[in-house]
Amino acid sequence: MAVNSYEKPDFWSKKAFSQGYPARSVYKLKEIDEKFGILKKGSKILDLGAAPGSWTVFALRQLDGSGSVTAIDLKPLAKDVRAENLMFIQGDLYNEEVRHLAKSRGPYDAIICDAAPATTGNKIIDTARSAGLVELALYYVTTMLKTGGNFAVKVFQGGDQNALLTEMRKVFENARGFKPKACRSESFETYLIGLNKKA
């Protein structure tokens, strides 16, 4: 069976494992947080599309025992991702019960979303599904993020990113795209950042 580059543990995956993170994607959030300071000590964080949990672990470490993280994914978190101030909801972000449960734990100071659709290889379909997840994450933002709160969300490039940013500018004082260096060179993912939610 062919092994593609996504299955080979590269430098970043090895580094992530050695630092106690279950996936290399942690370095993307690290770059986002270093640049925009979205995860603050003592805050309440909602992590959408969280499995296996490297963003969750990074958020917990930033909180340093204070505040809380609520994480949601269709799949379970890696088994060693646990903490007293972590609540994990296994389910579909579109599901009403999941949304209610998430809302009951809010409102949140930051919402981070690394959710990605299962890819088909058809770029038009995959980008449209990714944009759908961004719209869904924006629903969580409008109903569960505090005024002044921050947001970071993954989106596949190639769709109408400008339309999503226009939507985000209605909700946030500041919204922009950001591609972390830790994204794989062959990857067409990028991130949209929303800062300081309007009242």
Residues designated as active site: 154
155 belongs to the binding site for ligand SAM (CB under 6 A): no
Asked if 116 is part of the footprint of ligand SAM (rule: CB under 6 A), the reply reads yes
Q: Does 51 bind ligand SAM (CB under 6 A)?
A: yes
Q: Is 49 in the site for ligand SAM (CB under 6 A)?
A: yes
Rule CB under 6 A: say whether 54 interacts with ligand SAM: yes
Interface segment toward ligand SAM; rule CB under 6 A; list 17-25, 37-45, 120-128, 170-178: 17-25
Among 36, 46, 53, 109, interactor with ligand SAM by CB under 6 A: 53
* 52 is an interface residue for ligand SAM by CB under 6 A: yes
Cβ–Cβ under 8 Å, residues 92 and 74: yes
Q: Which residues in 56-95 contact ligand SAM (CB under 6 A)?
A: 72-75, 92-94
C-beta closer to ligand SAM: residue 44 or 99: 99
Residues that contact ligand SAM, how many (by CB under 6 A) = 22
The CB-of-25 to ligand SAM minimum distance in angstroms stands at 4
User: Alpha helix locations (H) across 20-157?
Assistant: 26-36, 54-63, 96-105, 123-144
The helix (run of H) or strand (run of E) holding residue 147 is strand 145-156
Q: Does 139 bind ligand SAM (CB under 6 A)?
A: no
Q: State the Cα–Cα distance between residues 51 and 100, nearest whole angstrom.
A: 20
The answer to whether residue 131 forms part of the interface with ligand SAM (CB under 6 A) is no
Q: How far apart are CA 167 and CA 138, in angstroms?
A: 9
Q: Is 180 a residue that touches ligand SAM (CB under 6 A)? A: no
Our CB check for ligand SAM shows the closer of 71 and 175 to be 71
Identify whether the C-beta of residue 141 lies closer than 8 Å to the C-beta of residue 113. no
Q: Are 194 and 167 in contact (CB under 8 A)?
A: no
Judge contact between 191 and 180, C-beta under 8 A.
yes
Cα–Cα distance measured from residue 69 to residue 85, given in angstroms and rounded to the nearest whole number: 6
The CA-based angle 183-151-180, given to 5 degrees, is 15
Residue 184 within binding range of ligand SAM, rule CB under 6 A: no
Cα separation, 131 vs 51, in Å, equals 19
| Helix (H/G/I), strand (E/B), else coil: 175 | strand
Chain residues in the site for ligand SAM (CB under 6 A)? 22-23, 25-26, 49-55, 72-75, 92-94, 114-117
